[in-house]
């Protein structure tokens, strides 16, 4: 009997299949099951796998996925409009018996509200802090419209010119500044604040009606195109 050699596995000369490595990573990052807990579950099922071994699998899987992440990041930073935000995340602090604060920086694109052609996408980048240096490192190559909150680190990006010659235009999130009006309105009677909330509600009603629709063409565009075609003829 002659057969070709078996394809190489993700964990070279190892036991786990790609499906098992993917399951361990999904449990850890999607369902928030730490590796020590997964190791205990496997042991109860008669599969004594050390936590350090699981960590090695995760490292190999992450290295395999890194090119996909880098390509997604490249595509997102080439989009005309993105949304950016940072979120605190507890990180193990070895030697101190506790955790410290790290930050996941999210870059997202979602053109569905205005019927855009590009599919939605999001990537997460870890940084040990939320200072301007991390925002600059993450978004150094971006030029376009960036939706964000009023955090000062994002405002610094609007003051510099991108590597491609363009600039970052900030589009502040309306939910953040509306929240301040709501807090004032709940505290007591404030006619000016109430009027502001009513005007914002009217804008939200318009947004609700047009969400998902493509922008209309400027008037006269079809006629101008027709005249141009006649001229060429």
pLDDT digits (tens, 9 = 90+) for 85-109: 999 988 888 888 888 999 999 999 9
The C-alpha angle 223, 227, 233, rounded to 5 degrees, equals: 145
Residue 174, C-beta contacts closer than 8 angstroms, at least 6 positions apart: 200, 203
Structure tokens belonging to residue 14: 């190892």
User: In terms of pLDDT, which residue wins out, 167 or 49?
Assistant: 49
Mean pLDDT for 71-79 is 95
CB-CB neighbours of 144 under 10 Å: 16
Work out the average pLDDT over 217-225.
60
Q: Fold for domain 75-92+99-210?
A: Nucleotidyltransferase; domain 5 (3.30.420)
Q: Strand pairing partners for 92?
A: 99
More confident residue, 47 or 214: 47
pLDDT at 228: 46
Q: Which residue has the higher pLDDT, 152 or 6?
A: 152
Report the chain's terminal Cα–Cα distance, integer Å.
71
By three-state DSSP, how is residue 205 classified? helix
231 has a pLDDT exceeding 50: no
Model pLDDT, residue 160: 67
pLDDT in tens, 114-150: 888 899 999 999 999 999 899 999 998 899 999 999 8
CB atoms inside a 10 Å sphere around CB 105:
20
Residue 53's pLDDT band (cuts 50, 70, 90): very high
DSSP 79: S
Residue 28 confidence (pLDDT): 94
- Per residue in 7-16, pLDDT (tens digit) is 888 988 888 9
DSSP-derived pairing of the beta strands 121-127 and 98-109: antiparallel
Give residue 223's pLDDT.
53
The residue ranges of every structural domain in the chain are 18-67, 75-92+99-210
Give me the mean pLDDT over the 56-85 stretch.
95
Please say if the pLDDT value at position 225 is more than 60: no
How far is residue 116's CA from residue 214's CA, in Å, rounded to a whole number? 7
User: Over 50: is that where the pLDDT of 233 sits?
Assistant: no
pLDDT in tens, 151-179: 888 888 887 655 555 689 999 988 888 99
């Amino acid at each position: 009997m002659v057969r070709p050699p078996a394809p190489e596995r993700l964990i070279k000369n190892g036991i786990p299949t790609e499906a098992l490595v993917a399951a361990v990573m999904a449990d850890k990052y999607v369902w928030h099951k730490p590796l020590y807990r997964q190791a205990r579950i496997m042991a109860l099922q008669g599969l004594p796998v050390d936590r350090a071994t699981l960590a090695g699998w995760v490292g190999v899987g992450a290295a395999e996925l890194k090119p996909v992440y880098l390509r997604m990041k490249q595509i997102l930073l080439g989009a005309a409009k993105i949304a950016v935000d940072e979120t605190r995340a507890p990180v193990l602090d070895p030697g101190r018996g506790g955790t410290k604060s790290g930050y996941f920086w999210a870059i997202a694109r979602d053109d569905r509200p205005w019927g855009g052609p590009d599919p939605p996408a999001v990537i997460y980048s870890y940084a040990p802090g939320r200072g301007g240096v991390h925002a600059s490192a993450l978004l150094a190559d971006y030029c376009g419209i960036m939706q964000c909150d009023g955090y000062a680190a994002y405002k610094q990006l609007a003051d510099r010119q991108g590597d491609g010659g363009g600039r970052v235009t900030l589009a502040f999130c309306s939910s953040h500044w509306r929240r301040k009006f709501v807090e004032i309105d709940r505290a007591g009677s404030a006619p000016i604040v109430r009027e502001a909330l009513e005007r914002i509600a009217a804008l939200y009603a318009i947004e609700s009606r047009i969400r998902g629709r493509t922008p209309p063409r400027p008037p006269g565009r079809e006629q101008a195109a027709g005249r141009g075609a006649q001229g060429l003829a």
